[in-house]
Amino acid sequence: MLCIIPDVLDWSTLKQIRGVADEAEFRDGRLTAGYRAKRVKNNAQMRKSSQKEKTLDKVLIDALNANKTFRRRALPKRIMAPMISRYEVGMNYGPHVDDALMNRPNTVRTDLATTIFISDPNEYEGGELVIDSPFGEQQVKLPAGAAVLYSATTLHYVAPVSEGVRIAAVTWIQSHVRDSGEREILADLDEICATLAKIAPERRETDLAFKTYANLTRRWAEV
Protein backbone atom coordinates (compact mmCIF):
# COMPACT_ATOMS: atom_id res chain seq x y z
CA MET A 1 0.00 0.00 0.00
CA LEU A 2 1.34 3.39 -1.05
CA CYS A 3 -0.78 6.51 -0.73
CA ILE A 4 0.19 10.02 -1.84
CA ILE A 5 -1.42 12.74 0.29
CA PRO A 6 -1.11 16.29 -1.09
CA ASP A 7 -1.18 19.44 1.03
CA VAL A 8 -0.78 17.90 4.47
CA LEU A 9 1.03 21.10 5.47
CA ASP A 10 -0.08 24.56 4.38
CA TRP A 11 2.42 27.27 3.50
CA SER A 12 2.37 28.98 6.92
CA THR A 13 3.10 25.67 8.67
CA LEU A 14 5.87 24.88 6.20
CA LYS A 15 7.37 28.31 6.81
CA GLN A 16 7.30 27.69 10.57
CA ILE A 17 9.00 24.29 10.24
CA ARG A 18 11.62 25.55 7.82
CA GLY A 19 12.42 28.48 10.09
CA VAL A 20 13.00 26.18 13.05
CA ALA A 21 15.07 23.80 10.89
CA ASP A 22 17.29 26.65 9.71
CA GLU A 23 18.29 27.42 13.30
CA ALA A 24 18.27 23.92 14.79
CA GLU A 25 21.22 21.67 15.53
CA PHE A 26 21.35 18.47 13.49
CA ARG A 27 23.29 15.40 14.58
CA ASP A 28 24.35 12.08 13.08
CA GLY A 29 21.24 10.14 12.08
CA ARG A 30 22.85 6.83 12.98
CA LEU A 31 22.20 7.65 16.66
CA THR A 32 18.53 6.71 16.16
CA ALA A 33 18.98 3.83 13.72
CA GLY A 34 18.47 0.15 14.47
CA TYR A 35 21.58 -1.99 14.69
CA ARG A 36 21.41 -3.11 11.05
CA ALA A 37 20.23 0.21 9.61
CA LYS A 38 23.28 1.96 11.12
CA ARG A 39 25.33 0.39 8.30
CA VAL A 40 23.48 2.30 5.60
CA LYS A 41 22.16 5.45 7.28
CA ASN A 42 23.98 8.62 6.29
CA ASN A 43 21.92 11.67 7.16
CA ALA A 44 21.47 14.22 9.93
CA GLN A 45 18.52 14.56 12.30
CA MET A 46 17.22 17.51 14.21
CA ARG A 47 18.13 17.53 17.87
CA LYS A 48 15.02 18.65 19.74
CA SER A 49 16.77 20.56 22.48
CA SER A 50 14.45 23.58 22.70
CA GLN A 51 10.73 23.99 23.21
CA LYS A 52 10.45 25.52 19.74
CA GLU A 53 11.82 22.31 18.21
CA LYS A 54 9.70 20.04 20.42
CA THR A 55 6.57 21.99 19.43
CA LEU A 56 7.01 20.72 15.86
CA ASP A 57 5.97 17.22 17.00
CA LYS A 58 2.47 18.47 17.79
CA VAL A 59 2.34 20.63 14.67
CA LEU A 60 3.11 17.68 12.40
CA ILE A 61 0.91 15.15 14.20
CA ASP A 62 -2.02 17.58 14.29
CA ALA A 63 -1.62 18.16 10.54
CA LEU A 64 -1.73 14.43 9.85
CA ASN A 65 -4.75 13.87 12.10
CA ALA A 66 -6.57 16.74 10.41
CA ASN A 67 -6.18 15.13 6.99
CA LYS A 68 -9.14 12.98 5.93
CA THR A 69 -7.14 10.81 3.54
CA PHE A 70 -4.54 10.04 6.20
CA ARG A 71 -7.21 9.11 8.76
CA ARG A 72 -9.07 6.96 6.24
CA ARG A 73 -5.98 5.06 5.08
CA ALA A 74 -4.04 4.79 8.35
CA LEU A 75 -6.79 4.44 10.97
CA PRO A 76 -4.19 5.73 13.42
CA LYS A 77 -4.08 4.48 16.98
CA ARG A 78 -0.69 5.94 17.87
CA ILE A 79 1.64 8.27 15.94
CA MET A 80 5.25 8.56 16.99
CA ALA A 81 6.99 11.91 17.45
CA PRO A 82 8.30 12.72 13.96
CA MET A 83 12.01 12.84 13.15
CA ILE A 84 13.13 15.73 10.95
CA SER A 85 15.98 14.63 8.72
CA ARG A 86 18.43 16.62 6.64
CA TYR A 87 20.30 15.24 3.63
CA GLU A 88 23.15 17.27 2.19
CA VAL A 89 25.18 16.47 -0.93
CA GLY A 90 26.44 12.89 -0.81
CA MET A 91 24.08 11.79 1.96
CA ASN A 92 21.65 8.90 1.55
CA TYR A 93 19.90 6.13 3.48
CA GLY A 94 20.53 2.71 1.99
CA PRO A 95 18.05 -0.17 1.74
CA HIS A 96 16.52 -1.03 5.11
CA VAL A 97 13.30 -2.11 6.81
CA ASP A 98 11.97 -0.15 9.77
CA ASP A 99 12.10 -1.70 13.23
CA ALA A 100 8.85 -3.50 14.04
CA LEU A 101 8.70 -2.06 17.56
CA MET A 102 9.88 1.44 18.46
CA ASN A 103 9.76 3.92 21.32
CA ARG A 104 10.24 1.46 24.18
CA PRO A 105 9.01 1.35 26.92
CA ASN A 106 5.97 3.15 25.40
CA THR A 107 6.14 0.69 22.56
CA VAL A 108 4.63 1.44 19.16
CA ARG A 109 4.14 -1.34 16.60
CA THR A 110 5.13 0.25 13.30
CA ASP A 111 2.43 -0.76 10.85
CA LEU A 112 2.88 2.28 8.59
CA ALA A 113 5.46 4.95 7.87
CA THR A 114 4.90 8.48 6.62
CA THR A 115 7.36 10.87 5.00
CA ILE A 116 6.30 14.53 4.87
CA PHE A 117 8.35 16.55 2.40
CA ILE A 118 9.59 19.88 3.79
CA SER A 119 11.92 20.79 0.92
CA ASP A 120 10.50 21.35 -2.55
CA PRO A 121 11.80 19.13 -5.39
CA ASN A 122 13.42 22.10 -7.13
CA GLU A 123 15.64 22.68 -4.08
CA TYR A 124 17.64 19.46 -4.46
CA GLU A 125 18.69 16.80 -6.95
CA GLY A 126 18.38 13.10 -6.14
CA GLY A 127 17.01 12.25 -2.71
CA GLU A 128 14.07 10.20 -3.96
CA LEU A 129 12.34 7.92 -1.47
CA VAL A 130 12.39 4.51 -3.19
CA ILE A 131 9.98 1.84 -1.91
CA ASP A 132 10.17 -1.81 -2.91
CA SER A 133 6.84 -3.29 -4.01
CA PRO A 134 5.47 -6.32 -5.88
CA PHE A 135 5.40 -4.03 -8.95
CA GLY A 136 9.04 -3.04 -8.64
CA GLU A 137 10.65 0.01 -7.07
CA GLN A 138 8.35 3.01 -6.56
CA GLN A 139 10.15 6.37 -6.57
CA VAL A 140 8.56 9.19 -4.57
CA LYS A 141 9.61 12.84 -4.64
CA LEU A 142 6.78 15.19 -3.72
CA PRO A 143 6.13 18.94 -3.44
CA ALA A 144 6.80 20.58 -0.09
CA GLY A 145 3.88 19.93 2.25
CA ALA A 146 2.84 16.65 0.63
CA ALA A 147 3.24 13.25 2.28
CA VAL A 148 3.47 9.61 1.33
CA LEU A 149 1.99 6.86 3.51
CA TYR A 150 3.41 3.38 3.03
CA SER A 151 3.79 0.06 4.78
CA ALA A 152 6.64 -0.03 7.29
CA THR A 153 7.15 -3.68 6.36
CA THR A 154 8.76 -2.75 3.03
CA LEU A 155 12.40 -2.44 2.08
CA HIS A 156 13.00 1.19 1.14
CA TYR A 157 15.80 3.73 0.79
CA VAL A 158 16.57 7.39 0.16
CA ALA A 159 18.70 7.90 -2.94
CA PRO A 160 21.86 10.03 -2.64
CA VAL A 161 21.42 13.79 -2.81
CA SER A 162 23.63 15.18 -5.57
CA GLU A 163 22.76 18.87 -5.21
CA GLY A 164 21.06 21.08 -2.64
CA VAL A 165 19.51 20.01 0.67
CA ARG A 166 16.60 17.65 1.28
CA ILE A 167 14.62 18.12 4.52
CA ALA A 168 11.76 15.80 5.41
CA ALA A 169 9.83 14.64 8.47
CA VAL A 170 9.35 10.93 9.05
CA THR A 171 7.05 9.21 11.50
CA TRP A 172 5.53 5.80 12.18
CA ILE A 173 1.97 4.79 12.92
CA GLN A 174 0.39 1.96 14.84
CA SER A 175 -2.98 1.43 13.22
CA HIS A 176 -6.18 0.35 14.92
CA VAL A 177 -6.27 -2.32 12.19
CA ARG A 178 -3.08 -4.37 11.96
CA ASP A 179 -3.72 -6.12 8.64
CA SER A 180 -3.01 -4.04 5.52
CA GLY A 181 -5.67 -5.84 3.45
CA GLU A 182 -8.33 -5.12 6.06
CA ARG A 183 -7.25 -1.47 6.22
CA GLU A 184 -7.62 -1.18 2.45
CA ILE A 185 -11.12 -2.69 2.53
CA LEU A 186 -12.16 -0.24 5.25
CA ALA A 187 -10.65 2.73 3.41
CA ASP A 188 -12.49 1.86 0.21
CA LEU A 189 -15.74 1.26 2.08
CA ASP A 190 -15.38 4.55 3.97
CA GLU A 191 -15.06 6.36 0.63
CA ILE A 192 -18.15 4.58 -0.65
CA CYS A 193 -20.09 5.57 2.48
CA ALA A 194 -19.07 9.22 2.07
CA THR A 195 -20.25 9.23 -1.56
CA LEU A 196 -23.56 7.49 -0.78
CA ALA A 197 -24.22 9.94 2.05
CA LYS A 198 -24.03 12.77 -0.50
CA ILE A 199 -25.93 11.28 -3.41
CA ALA A 200 -28.43 8.97 -1.69
CA PRO A 201 -28.72 9.98 1.98
CA GLU A 202 -32.19 8.48 2.42
CA ARG A 203 -31.57 5.12 0.77
CA ARG A 204 -31.53 1.92 2.81
CA GLU A 205 -28.43 0.86 0.90
CA THR A 206 -26.59 3.85 2.36
CA ASP A 207 -27.52 2.74 5.87
CA LEU A 208 -26.35 -0.79 5.05
CA ALA A 209 -23.01 0.52 3.79
CA PHE A 210 -22.48 2.46 7.03
CA LYS A 211 -23.56 -0.59 9.02
CA THR A 212 -21.06 -2.79 7.17
CA TYR A 213 -18.23 -0.29 7.74
CA ALA A 214 -19.02 -0.04 11.44
CA ASN A 215 -19.27 -3.78 11.94
CA LEU A 216 -16.09 -4.60 10.01
CA THR A 217 -14.25 -1.95 12.02
CA ARG A 218 -15.68 -3.46 15.20
CA ARG A 219 -14.48 -6.91 14.08
CA TRP A 220 -10.96 -5.94 13.03
CA ALA A 221 -9.96 -2.99 15.25
CA GLU A 222 -7.59 -3.27 18.21
CA VAL A 223 -8.21 -0.72 20.94
pLDDT, mean of each 10-residue run, the chain (223 residues): 95 97 94 85 93 94 98 98 97 96 94 98 98 93 98 97 98 98 98 98 98 98 95
CB-based contacts of 9-18 (< 8 A; 24+ apart in sequence) = 9/60, 9/63, 9/116, 9/118, 9/144, 9/145, 10/145, 11/145, 13/59, 13/63, 13/145, 14/118, 14/144, 14/145, 16/56, 16/59, 17/56, 17/59, 17/60, 17/84, 17/118, 17/169, 18/118, 18/167
pLDDT at res. 32 = 85
Predicted local distance difference test score (pLDDT) of residue 58 = 96
pTM: 0.94
pLDDT at 135: 87
**Cα separation of 20 and 49, whole Å?**
12
- Domain 2-175: state its class: mainly beta
